[in-house]
């Protein structure tokens, strides 16, 4: 993937985030100094270094149709970063994660007594979503964009309910797809369609991009879940295997439940249900997922989704340069499956 373009868009997005929070923090401090501190922590959380793949995809679509970046596209990038981090704040809280990108999860930033951090994270996530919608007001004719954001936000919350439910039951592969369709696929559908809507792309273009976004999202979700199980702490940036400890059921686990036989399936079921697994049990789950072929099958499925995404992008009238970047972008998602497992 083009690091040069990623760096360019990352710097652009970071600049917009800093500008936005400078004003928001000043306004908040005027009515109470502690709220200024909350906004300062939100800014730091949003600015933690990551690949910003979802937001970058929206900017790529816009420039691929319009041929240049403008102030409205930068505003859309800001809104998408605020939206994405609204989800991450809540996701960290629900999953009881302690870290995010080398720093403390938002609900762990405040040491003011039991329950405060969790309450602050709930409200801060809601604030970020509201801020994303407010940012869109600076874009003329933004009604369609707000509808896209609202639909995607409802979908991701639906996926969170199912994901939590699956900790207590044994979902099939089909049920995993029902849940995942409203997770990363929903995010990438939003980003690609938002870029297309801002560029006033035609109906057929948007149909291809909507399909591409879903396929990218599936590949991304499968990759991210495998990383969460199989990467080392140094590779992952936080403690791996936590999904196993919580009884989560990502695709490679759902596949393992289907492909494993006899005693191995029962052993896998017992470990996931125990909620008290240690390092040895996590290693055993990894061994079982590999030995029954579920890991290889999950990788194959991710690459299949990536190939479909590239095919849909190719059908659009995006510029040749942007198509090449997207192809590299999608390959990055699929091929990075190899470095940890």
- The pLDDT value recorded for residue 117 is 93
Cα–Cα distance for residue pair 39/263, rounded to 1 Å: 52
Eight-class DSSP state of 2:
-
- The pLDDT value recorded for residue 230 is 87
- The pLDDT value recorded for residue 158 is 98
Instruction: Report residue 213 as tokens.
Output: 């976004």
Burial of 295 (0-12, 13-18, 19+ CB in 10 A): buried
- Cα–Cα distance list, 284 to 155, 173, 268 (Å): 34, 21, 8
DSSP 163-216: HHHHTTS---HHHHHHHHTTSHHHHHHHHHHHHHHHTT--HHHHHHHHHHHHHH
Q: Provide the 10 A C-beta neighbour count for residue 202.
A: 12
* Residue whose tokens read 């809104």: 79
**What tens-digit pLDDT sequence spans the chain (341 residues)?**
467 877 888 999 999 999 999 999 999 999 999 999 999 999 999 999 877 899 999 999 999 999 999 999 999 999 999 999 999 999 999 988 888 887 899 999 987 878 899 999 999 999 999 999 999 999 999 999 999 999 999 999 999 999 999 999 999 999 999 999 999 999 999 999 999 999 999 999 999 999 999 999 999 999 989 988 887 666 655 666 677 777 889 999 999 999 999 999 999 999 888 766 678 888 899 999 999 999 999 999 999 999 999 999 999 999 999 999 999 989 988 776 554 44
DSSP 40-93: HHHHHHHHS----HHHHHHHHHHHHHHSS--HHHHHHHHHHHHHHHHHHHHHHH
Cα–Cα distance for residue pair 289/303, rounded to 1 Å: 18
* Residue whose tokens read 């990218």: 216
- The pLDDT value recorded for residue 244 is 75
**CATH of segment(s) 3-338:** 1.10.600.10
3-state DSSP helix/strand/coil percent for the chain, to nearest 5?
75, 0, 20
CA-based nearest residue to 216, from 8, 1, 70, 14:
1
pTM for this model (two decimals) = 0.93
Q: Where are the domains of the chain?
A: 3-338
Cα–Cα distance for residue pair 120/189, rounded to 1 Å: 29
Phi, psi angles (nearest 5°) of residue 100: -150, 115
Are the C-beta atoms of residues 82 and 204 closer than 8 Å to each other? no
């Amino acid at each position: 993937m083009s690091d040069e373009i990623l760096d360019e868009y990352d710097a652009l997005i970071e600049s917009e985030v800093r500008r936005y929070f400078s004003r928001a923090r000043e306004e908040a401090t005027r009515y109470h100094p502690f709220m200024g501190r909350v906004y300062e922590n939100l800014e730091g959380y949003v600015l933690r270094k990551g690949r910003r793949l979802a937001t970058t995809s929206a900017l790529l679509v816009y420039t691929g149709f319009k041929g240049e970046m403008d102030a409205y596209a930068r505003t859309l990038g800001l809104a998408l970063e605020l939206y994405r981090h609204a989800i991450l704040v809540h996701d960290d809280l629900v999953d009881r994660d302690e870290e995010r990108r080398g720093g403390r999860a938002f609900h762990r930033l405040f040491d003011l007594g039991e329950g405060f951090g969790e309450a602050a994270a709930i409200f801060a996530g809601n604030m970020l979503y509201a801020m994303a919608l407010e940012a869109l007001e600076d874009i003329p004719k933004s009604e369609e964009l707000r509808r896209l954001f609202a639909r995607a936000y409802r979908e991701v919350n639906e996926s969170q309910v199912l994901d939590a439910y699956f900790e207590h039951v044994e979902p099939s592969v089909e049920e995993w797809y029902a849940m995942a369709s409203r997770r990363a696929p929903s995010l990438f559908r939003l980003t690609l369609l938002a870029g297309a809507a801002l560029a006033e792309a035609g109906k057929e273009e948007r149909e291809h991009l909507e399909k591409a976004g879903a396929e990218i999202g599936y590949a991304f979700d499968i990759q991210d879940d495998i990383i969460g199980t199989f990467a080392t702490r140094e590779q992952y940036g936080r403690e791996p295997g936590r999904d196993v400890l919580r009884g989560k059921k990502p695709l490679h686990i759902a596949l393992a439940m289907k492909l494993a036989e006899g005693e191995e399936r029962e052993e896998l079921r017992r470990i996931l249900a125990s909620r008290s697994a240690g390092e040895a049990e996590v290693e055993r789950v990894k061994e079982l997922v590999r030995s029954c072929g579920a890991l290889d099958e999950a990788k194959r499925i991710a690459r299949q989704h990536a190939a479909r995404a590239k095919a849909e992008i190719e059908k659009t009238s995006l510029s040749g340069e942007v198509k090449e970047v997207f192809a590299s972008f999608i390959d990055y998602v699929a091929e990075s499956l190899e470095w940890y497992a």
